[in-house]
Amino acid sequence: MFAGVVFVAFYTAQLTTSLTVEQIRGAIEGPSDLPSKQVGTLAGSTAVDYLRRQNAQIQEFPTTDQMFNALLDKKVDAVVSGDAHFAVGIE
């Protein structure tokens, strides 16, 4: 009986973990997910050319504050900085 309880507890923990990870994971996990997504970047940055090659829908912002606020407000799906680092919003 003890083994049964341990098995049920282990199974429940694994299921809960899997479901939580699926909910946290968004539509964008890396650069290969950028095509056709709304992506914010700083106006005139080197990321603009990179995003064009990725076929992303680019929105350029004059400041990083505006860029990250657009991400928080879900006006863009992700942001990419000049050195091709990116952040994504959580759904």
Structure confidence by residue, pLDDT tens digits, 20-42: 544 555 667 778 888 988 999 99
Write the burial class of residue 18 (CB in 10 Å: 0-12 exposed, 13-18 middle, 19+ buried): exposed
pTM value is: 0.63
- Confidence (pLDDT) at 84: 52
- Confidence (pLDDT) at 12: 63
Q: Which residues contact 56 (CB under 8 A, 6 or more apart)?
A: 34, 35, 36, 37, 38, 39
Residues of the chain with pLDDT under 50: 7, 21-22
- Confidence (pLDDT) at 39: 93
Domains of the chain and CATH, by start = 31-88 (3.40.190.10)
Q: How many CA atoms lie within 13 A of 79 on its CB side?
A: 24
- Confidence (pLDDT) at 65: 92
- Confidence (pLDDT) at 26: 62
Instruction: Give the span between the Cα atoms of 39 and 43, in whole angstroms.
Output: 12
> Apex CA 20: angle with CA 24 and CA 80, to 5°?
15
